[in-house]
Structures are given as structure tokens and as C-alpha cells.
Amino acid sequence: MLSWKEFTDYAAELQLKEEYVAQNKPFFEKIDPAFFDRIFQGDTFDPEEIRKAFPGEEYRRFMLVMAVAGWPQMVAHYKKMNFTQQMLEDIKPDLGLWLDKFMADCGIAGLDMRIYGWTKALRKGSILQFGRLQCNYDHAFYGKVACFRDADGTVRLEPCEEHNSKALFSFGDPAINLHIPAAGPLKRELCIDSLRKIVRFFAEYRPDFDYKAVVCYSWILDPVFTQIMKSTNLADFQRLGHIFRMEGVDETNEIVWRVFDIPNGTPADIDKRPHNTGMRKAVAGYLKEGGRFCEHGMVILRDELENLLK
């Protein structure tokens, strides 16, 4: 198990707030090193075993310690893959964003188990960051749509349940999958810059990866947002590609968590937080009228990128 000094040094490299890190010292000193090493070094772990060892919300602190302990592995992987120092600098703030999120949610300097899984993907290089946007190193499209181009050049999306060999792009095809970290405004120029960097990365590092499109799956792609908010950033981002609905994926409770900082919350809980931002006010009004949110996807075909990024 790492020492407290190593933990604080790694946390500083990851740009975590000192006051949040310091909160964990009494907890850190109680961790059984043998237990930590067994969990940290394993490919998987039993969530109930961790919850039993650290009752209540304390397990979140343990997940944070494990996430920070993975920093040297991330550095070593980036060096092995010859990834640039800028890529490492771009990905560093991600853990701090999640830590801020859980402090807002429950006042504990820790992480949820789901997010710890995300941090493992980061340190293994499965998820990379290029400026404003992140992407997977490898991905197969799982949207239930197929893309066709009509004679006039219009791209048409049709429902499909499996791969369609006659389509330009469909279920199972290789794709670059985007992620949107909670790192401020989603400005079009920043997103375009990220896409340029991502395309260059795949050309240099993954020339064998014959991706057919750039895709994204997110609650933020729900067209409802462009109807209930004045934000041009969200509308501009959605206009980058072709939007489709992820049928059966209701994201209403996820949005209650993301927007109102209420873990496991429902629309009935939104008045527990002040409606003090434009997004909170807009979402609250929509939910109080009985509205629901659904996850949506976006497709940018590969042959559309040149015109988009010029």
C-alpha cells in the first residue's frame, strides 16, 4: 500500500484540492495495507466486501485512495505508449472534477464505485482526453440505428437491431466514441479543436483502426435542452452531427443527479437544492410539468469530418 506522503504527492499531481485530500488522513491511517493491496491489485472486486469493511459513506474514501494510487500506473502507461505530455496534462483534472462532484453531492471527499471504474479506464489509457473532449481508445458502435445517404447527399438514420452491411455505418461498426467531461462551457470552437486533435491522434497512433464515424451517447444530447434553455453551446454541439434517440434509456434520474447534485434522486427531490443556475431553473420547470429526459446519440460520419474541421 502507498504511504500517506505518496498519496498526497500523487493527489497534488492530479490537481486535487488540498483541503479535500487532508480530510482523508484519519481514514487513510485506518486502512489495512494487506486489504488495500488485495483489492487494488485485483482485476475485479466485490462491492459488498468494501461496503462491509467501510460502512455508510466511508467506502467512498477508500475508492478515492485507490483512484489516486493508480497515478503511477497511468504515467507508466503513457510513457510506454509514447503518448504526449500534453495528453497527460489534459486528463489530469478529470479525477478532481469527480471529487468536486461528490463533495457537492454528499460532503465526503470520495468517489462512487461506478466512477472508480471510470478512473481505472483512464489510467489504462482506454479513455483519453484532447482538450475539451475525451474519447475511447477503441469502440464498437452500439446505437440501434443505421446511416444511409440519399441521392441529394442527405444523411438518413433508420432504426436497426443489428449490423447492416448495406449502410454507411451501423451497429457494431468501429467508431471514435466521445465523452464530455464536466469542465465548463461546451463551446463549439473548443469541441472542434478537440476533434482535430483526436483525428490526428488516430491517424498517428491507430492507423489500423478503420473507424467509420465519430459518435457520442449522452443525456446532454436530448433535443429537449435546446427547447428549454437559451444556451447556444448545447445547440451548437448537437448540430455537429446527426442526433438519434437511445430507445428505452430514460435519463431523468441521472439528470437529477448531474444537475441538482442529488445521488439516487428523482424529480420529487429537486426542491432540496436551490434552483440557482440557468440549467437548474430550466430543468426544474420541465420536470415539474411532467417532462422526462432520454439518452440520445450523435453520429458524425468519417467523410463529414474534413468539412467540419476545416
Longest C-alpha distance within the chain, in Å? 67
134-251+293-309 to CATH, choices 3.30.1460, 1.25.40, 3.40.630, 3.40.190: 3.40.630
**Across 70-92, average pLDDT:** 97
483489492: which residue's cell? 39
Q: Is the pLDDT of residue 231 over 90?
A: no
pLDDT category of residue 233 using cuts at 50, 70 and 90: very high
Ranges of each domain in the chain: 4-125, 134-251+293-309
Lowest mean per-residue pLDDT among 1-5, 228-232, 241-245: 228-232
Pairing of strands 175-179, 213-218: parallel
**Across 132-154, average pLDDT:** 97
Report yes or no: 126 and 138 within 8 Å, Cβ to Cβ: yes
Cell of 23: 480530510
Report yes or no: 172 and 134 within 8 Å, Cβ to Cβ: no
What pTM did the predictor assign?
A: 0.93
Report pLDDT digits (tens) over 259-271: 999 989 999 999 9
Strands (E), 151-241: 155-159, 175-179, 213-218
Report pLDDT digits (tens) over 31-67: 999 999 999 998 889 999 999 999 999 999 999 999 9
